Amino acid sequence: MKIRTLKDIAELKGKKVLLRVDFNVPLKENGEIQDDTRIKEALPTIKELQRKKAKIIIASHLGRPGGKIVEELRLSNVAQYLSKLLKKPVKKLDETIGPEVKKEIEKMKNGDIVMLENTRFHKEEKECEKKFTKKLASLADIFINDAFGTAHRKHASTAGVAAHLTAYAGLLMEKEITALSPIIEEEPIRPLTMIFGGAKIDTKIGIIKNFIDKADYFLLGGALANTFILAAGYNTGESKCEEDKVEVARNIMLDCEKHHEKFIIPHDVIVASEISDKAQTIDIPVEDVIGDMKILDIGKWTAEKYCNIIQKSGTVIWNGPLGLYEFEPFRKRSATVAKCLADHNCVSIIGGGDTADCLKRLKIPFKKFTHVSTGGGACIEFLSGQKLPGIEVLKM
């Protein structure tokens, strides 16, 4: 895939650069940043723009404010945190567009950084509304998209501004595309194993269907697996699952039926009647789930089976934790599989913020894997072969 990148820009000194990043980071109840992965991953691009003496105008969203101002979703804490990492002032503005914003940008010196307010405080952002998009683009001379995590969204700040400014990929965006492209453009090292967890089936349907004839194994966990367990005719008790997606799950399993060991759902599961760090758990065969039991992790036998498959795989793509990892009793099997994958010499692609957060809690270094993507939905859609609006505008 040929795209324009930051490295292609001949002169940046004095140029006003609209830099779209993905600083949609998880926050603690007190507003502090819980996981700074996405901020740290954007640092190389920001530092390169500083080195080349550009005027850096950072745009990002945070949370889902629905086009309204939500005080706890302002980017003030994010700007302060970035300032500490860079050891340089980052001026946070209270608006995204408007005369006050323009006034502050006109004051900027080479190498200065300002951060616009949460782009999603404007409903026009998600609508990619023309007037808003044009006003946003008017703030800068060049557009650099380094927000791979939002590349699947056709929003004003991710794709729309490219109608008014020449668009380039930042260093993180370039790294993501370089790491993921071979999976869809070249023959992967086999066997190719896809591990899917997390909560929702609909976000994974596209990639599962795209890889039915390409992958050698599909290994399922998380609440997503519960929908398939229900579709297979088992009781799921009071487990989280999507009953309206049972037919979709059944059809996917039927498509894989000719390959008996290709599409694997949990054979045993960890269940509990409550969700807490002190929950009492039992490991039982999936057919024994009854009453108010909640399936909250895959079982020991299933985790061992998954590890056996991983150990003979040449390429492994993992998206979504295998249990409710936020609670210690339901994190164990994700730990088993993650450690197995980290120790195995293969191409390993980790996608999704929750999967990365799970690895952090397990204290497994990212360097143990070939690539840890900053995007969840974007990573999945890219690997599904779909065209991502935020990447399409970067193509030569």
- Check if 200 is active-site: yes
SS3 assignment for 290-310: CCCCEEEEECHHHHHHHHHHH
Nearest to 116 by CA among 151, 171, 153, 161: 161
- Helix, strand, coil percentages, rounded to 5, for the chain: 40, 15, 45
Give the DSSP H/E element, type plus range, for residue 181. Answer: helix 171-185
Instruction: Determine the Cα–Cα distance for residues 19 and 147; give it in Å rounded to an integer.
Output: 9
Among candidate residues 351, 353, 375, 390, the one labeled active-site is 353
Catalytic one among 200, 300, 339, 361? 200
Q: Is 38 a catalytic residue?
A: yes
Q: Which of 197, 375, 377, 390 is catalytic?
A: 377
Decide: 340 and 364 in contact? Cβ < 8 Å: no
Whether 63 is catalytic:
no
Give dist(CA 323, CA 133) in Å, integer: 40
Sign of CA dihedral 138, 142, 145, 146: negative
Is residue 55 annotated as part of the catalytic site, yes or no? no
β pairing state of 294-298 and 91-92: unpaired
Our CA angle for 59, 371, 83, nearest 5°, is: 35
Rg of the chain (C-alpha set): 22
Catalytic residue chosen out of the listed positions 20, 38, 120, 126: 38
- How many angstroms separate the Cα of 322 from the Cα of each of 42, 253, 277, 319? 28, 19, 17, 9
**Residues for the chain: how many in total?**
396
Residues forming the active site: 38, 200, 353, 377
